[in-house]
């Protein structure tokens, strides 16, 4: 589904990713872990298409298509969705509007008609309930005045409505208390499906107790230095990144 090959990325003339290779197949949940500054957030930002990242070498393909040639919105319409570590506040734009326009933009790109309003509201109501969110959220401006936990839940709500093929979640656990984490994890787990893949980027193993990954990659200094299963995350929790950094050096 997603193929990242020998990816080199520079930010403000500093090379952050130094030859990263990663394959994600449908049905899989991957976790990328690593110390601060290793390039974890850079990877998801480049895949989503954020400005300011220069790809100097390598490629990213999604279902065989060259992601780097696609506009930001085309990536989302194709089913590549990024959940932000720090969701942006968008004053004046209602959540309900964002959800409806985003869903219909995706449908339009896939040659489908707009979803009829009653069907849409039924869908949104169901997902809201799942995320333990009140319907009043829909009328509030996107993330404006939301607590950290509410913002993260809102990111997952968008995922549940938009049903991406590949959901990338950047530090979705940061700033969450244990109850909020459970709700978020339930939301993410409900996305698990044969035709879908999930990429978790996280600093801490804690999240992986709730969302058990199929594969764990350790990202150190711009490269994946080790890949394993969920057990690897537990080892990291016990021993830290030092040992792995040394073995990589």
Partner 1 sequence: MSDTQTFLDTLKTRSQQRETEPSWIAARRQAGAARFEALGFPTRRDEEWKYTDVRSIAQGNFALTDNADFSPAQAAALTLPVDAYRLTFVDGVYAPALSDVDALPETVHVLPLSKALSENHEAVGGPLGRLTGVDFSAFAALNTAFMEEGAVVRIAPGTVVEKPILLQFLSRANGTPVMSHPRILVEAGGRSEATLIEHYCGDQDAANFTNVVGEFMLDRGAILNHYKLQEAPLLDMHVASMHVEQGRDTRYTSYNLNLGGALVRNDLISDLNGQGAETNFLGLFFGQGRQHVDNHTKVNHNAPLTFSNENYKGILDDRAHGVFNGKVYVKRDSQKIEGFQSNQNLLLSDRAQIDAKPELEIYADDVKCSHGTTTGQLDEEAIYALRTRGIDEATARGLLTLAFAGEVLEKVTLDAIAERVELAVAGKLPERFNLAGLVETAVALND
Rounded to 5 degrees, φ, ψ at 97 are -65, -45
Interface pick for partner 1 out of 43, 48, 218, 224 (rule CB under 8 A): 48
Single out the residue of 149, 142, 168, 165 nearest to residue 82, CA to CA: 168
- Candidates 30, 40, 100, 215; binder of partner 1 (CB under 8 A) is 100
Question: From the CB of 145, what's the least distance to partner 1, in Å?
Answer: 15
Q: Segment near partner 1 (CB under 8 A), from 4-12, 137-145, 174-182, 219-227?
A: 137-145
26 binds partner 1 (CB under 8 A): no
Q: Does 119 interact with partner 1 (rule: CB under 8 A)?
A: no
Q: Which stretch binds partner 1 (CB under 8 A): 2-10, 88-96, 205-213, 240-248?
A: 88-96
Nearer to partner 1, 13 or 51 (CB): 51
Instruction: For partner 1, give the closer residue by CB, 49 or 222.
Output: 49
- Selected binder of partner 1 within 23, 50, 193, 195 (CB under 8 A): 50
- For residue 25, give Cα distances in angstroms to 29, 92, 119, 182: 9, 38, 31, 26
46 binds partner 1 (CB under 8 A): no
Distance CA 162, CA 165 (A): 9
Q: Which residues bind partner 1 (CB under 8 A)?
A: 48-51, 71-73, 75-77, 81-82, 84, 87-94, 96-98, 100-102, 104-106, 108-109, 114, 117-118, 120-121, 124-125, 134-136, 138-139, 141-142, 158, 162
């Amino acid at each position: 589904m997603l193929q990242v090959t020998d990816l080199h990325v520079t930010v403000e003339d500093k090379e952050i990713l130094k030859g990263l290779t990663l394959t994600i197949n449908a049905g899989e949940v991957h976790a990328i872990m690593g110390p601060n500054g290793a390039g974890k957030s850079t990877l998801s930002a480049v895949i989503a298409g954020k400005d300011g990242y220069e790809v100097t070498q390598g490629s990213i393909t999604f279902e065989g298509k060259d992601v780097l040639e696609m506009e930001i919105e085309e990536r989302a319409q194709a089913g590549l969705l990024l959940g932000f570590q720090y969701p942006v506040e968008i004053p004046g734009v209602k959540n309900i509007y964002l959800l409806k326009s985003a869903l219909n933009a995706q449908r339009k790109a896939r040659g489908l008609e707009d979803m009829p309003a009653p069907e849409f509201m039924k869908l949104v109501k169901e997902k809201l309930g799942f995320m333990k969110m009140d319907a009043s959220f829909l009328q509030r401006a996107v993330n404006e005045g939301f607590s950290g936990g509410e913002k993260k839940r809102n990111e997952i709500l968008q995922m549940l409505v938009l049903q991406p093929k590949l959901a990338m979640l950047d530090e979705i656990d940061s700033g969450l208390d244990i109850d909020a984490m459970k709700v978020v994890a339930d939301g993410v787990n409900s996305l698990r499906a044969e035709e879908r893949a999930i990429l978790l980027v996280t600093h801490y193993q804690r999240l992986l107790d709730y969302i058990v990954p199929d594969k764990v990659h350790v990202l150190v200094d711009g490269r994946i230095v080790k890949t394993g299963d969920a057990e690897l995350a537990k080892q990291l929790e016990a021993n830290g990144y030092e040992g792995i950094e040394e073995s990589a050096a």
